[in-house]
Amino acid sequence: DTEVTQTPKHLVMGMTNKKSLKCEQHMGHRAMYWYKQKAKKPPELMFVYSYEKLSINESVPSRFSPECPNSSLLNLHLHALQPEDSALYLCASSQSRGLSTDTQYFGPGTRLTVL
Amino acid sequence: GNSVTQMEGPVTLSEEAFLTINCTYTATGYPSLFWYVQYPGEGLQLLLKATKADDKGSNKGFEATYRKETTSFHLEKGSVQVSDSAVYFCALSLSGAGSYQLTFGKGTKLSVIP
């Protein structure tokens, strides 16, 4: 099973709202990722967690706050977002061996619209 | 730095036509190479991968061969179907520092018409 699940599928929020995106995998992977994808563009890496510790933060604004409560779950907390943050947010996971051969498996994404 | 260049398209083909999407890369070291596919409104799915020179990845009729001498990983399919309409991303990954980072090409949109 190579499934990564994400909820919700769609989210509409105002600029003053607080919301969270959730991601789950049961493949025993110890690396989990958040990506942001704008229309007609490739995904852009936001955060990487390895063994539940934040290992990469690609200079993402603080209005995005990641959390990895356990090895299977990854959250992205959203607060005071801007309309330009509207995008598809993708979660991915992989084994955490630090090898180029590790494959990242992606979830279906959450389509976020900020009004 | 590391980079991936792929033909941007869009590419429009008739059903049963032959498909080639070109992908070349620049990398320091020996990367693994991937093709991901994204169907409309969905996330990315791994299509195939190759981890060393001369490896051929294949899946669902798609193939790509890791060519170190030309730094290429072109995607091919002998006979496309309407259901192959999607955006295709070529990507590379390197071991060591930054090993968790995939470097993507810009994506190629394929439309297959009946």
pLDDT tens for chain B, residues 1 to 114:
889 999 888 999 999 999 999 999 999 888 999 999 999 989 999 999 999 999 999 999 999 999 999 999 999 999 999 999 999 999 999 876 556 789 999 999 999 999
Band (A80; pLDDT cuts 50, 70, 90): very high
Q: A100 and B30 in contact by Cβ < 8 A?
A: yes
Q: How many residues does chain B have?
A: 114
- Quickly count: other Cβ atoms within 10 Å of residue A57's Cβ: 13
**From A54-58, A109-113, B74-78, the region with the lowest mean pLDDT:** A54-58
The chain A residues in contact with chain B (CB within 8 A) are 2, 4, 6, 31, 33, 40-43, 45, 48, 50, 55-56, 88, 90, 92, 94, 98-109, 111
